[in-house]
């Protein structure tokens, strides 16, 4: 007889879902200095100077601008750290975190 195994494989492959993504949105205010907003975007969200400037100007003109997209825990942590750094200096800078559509 032959040594070939003809039994079907019964192991199910486990398929993991990707984590849901969340947007971090910069909200405009008329009190936080533009230079500070740009520095927060560069330091916390790792945007380069031109990207940070563009996000800041867009938020200023339209009232809000999406900064970046992350898994929920990362998005909330980055938004909280940016808000806290602004609060320490007395600025009302605010970010929101919302589910990606």
Higher pLDDT, 64 or 10: 64
Predicted TM-score (pTM) of this structure: 0.82
What are phi and psi for residue 15, nearest 5 degrees?
-110, 120
Q: How far is CA 54 from the centre of its chain?
A: 16
- Domain residue spans of the chain: 21-99
pLDDT value at residue 11: 74
Q: Could you report the per-residue pLDDT of 46-100, keeping only the tens digit for each?
A: 999 999 999 999 999 999 999 999 999 999 999 999 999 999 999 999 999 999 9
Q: How far is CA 6 from the centre of its chain?
A: 50
**pLDDT grade for 2, boundaries at 50, 70 and 90:** low
Residues 82 and 95 sit within 8 Å (Cβ to Cβ): yes
pLDDT value at residue 4: 73
Q: Could you report the per-residue pLDDT of 26-57, keeping only the tens digit for each?
A: 999 999 999 999 999 999 999 999 999 999 99
pLDDT value at residue 27: 98
pLDDT at 9 over 90: no
Which CATH code is given to the segment(s) 21-99? 3.30.1390.10
């Amino acid at each position: 007889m032959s040594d070939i195994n003809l039994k079907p494989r019964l192991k199910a492959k486990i398929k993991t879902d990707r984590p849901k993504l969340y947007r971090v949105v910069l909200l405009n205010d008329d009190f936080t200095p533009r230079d500070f907003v740009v520095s927060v975007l560069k330091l916390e969200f790792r945007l380069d100077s031109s990207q940070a400037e563009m996000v800041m100007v867009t938020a200023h003109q339209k009232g809000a601008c999406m900064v970046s997209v992350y898994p929920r825990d990362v998005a909330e942590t980055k938004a909280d750290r940016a808000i806290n750094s602004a609060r320490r200096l007395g600025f009302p800078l605010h970010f929101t975190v919302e589910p990606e559509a």
